[in-house]
Amino acid sequence: MRVVFLDTEYDPQTLRLLQLSYIVVDGRTRFARNFYFRASDVSSRVKALTGLAPDFLCRAGTEPDRVRKEVLADFADSTLAAHHLNRDKRVLVHAFGPLPNRHGLCTMYRFARVLRLPGGRSYKFPSLAELCAHYAVSPAAIAAAAEADFGAGSAPHDARFDAEAVLLCTRAAVERGDLRDLFS
């Protein structure tokens, strides 16, 4: 099964995509992509959280139209996996148009009943940090995986780091028997 582990960084006011990172796992094949997107204005909250500043994005970023075909080809016939998949899909559809996927795995929703954190309706939706703690996925392991896949270390709220965290937590869940049939 082909799975795309992804994360986005975006401006919540406009849904403007600022960064997209993903790792495609298809049997023994694995590759990663990271894109920054041009933005001349970034809210101070987004800048503080992600470190993405307009000067960097204008210099290093591209336009969604320039990478649309590549991204949609990578996503085709895949299961998309993200920590808050509905939010990420909304941002991606805003940037690229309809996505070519029918299946998805939202680790936030899927693992709420596994972690059983108090709060919410029946259980609180776990943060990505809580999910990592549950599966003993350390920030050092995530950063090392991001370095291996993307050629750059990263930290929380960098899309590369968060996409790796989703992948590592999902693999740990499969190994524990909390999730079946994702990599077969």
Tokens describing residue 141: 């392991």
**Can you give the pLDDT at residue 180?**
82
Q: 101 with 82: CB under 8 angstroms?
A: no
Q: Is the pLDDT of residue 184 over 60?
A: no
Q: Is the predicted pLDDT of residue 182 greater than 80, yes or no?
A: no
pLDDT tops 70 at residue 57: yes
Mean pLDDT of 65-83: 97
For the chain, which residues make up each domain, given as ranges?
Answer: 2-176
Read off the pTM.
Answer: 0.94
Percent of the chain's residues with pLDDT above 90: 80
Contact 64, 17 (CB under 8 A): yes
Out of 40-44, 78-82, 94-98, 168-172, pick the least confident: 40-44
Per-residue pLDDT tens digits for 140-176: 999 999 999 999 867 888 999 999 999 999 999 999 9
Query: What pLDDT does residue 183 have?
Result: 63
Confidence band for 120, pLDDT divided at 50, 70 and 90: low
Q: What does the pLDDT average to over 61-83?
A: 97
User: In whole angstroms, what is the distance from residue 66 CA to residue 69 CA?
Assistant: 8
Q: Considering the domain delimited by 2-176, tell me its CATH architecture.
A: 2-Layer Sandwich (3.30)
Residue 1: DSSP 8-state: -
| pLDDT given for residue 144 in this prediction | 95
* Residue 102 reports pLDDT greater than 90: no
Residue 119 has a pLDDT of: 81
pLDDT category of residue 31 using cuts at 50, 70 and 90: very high
Asked if residues 18 and 39 have their Cβ atoms less than 8 Å apart, the reply is yes
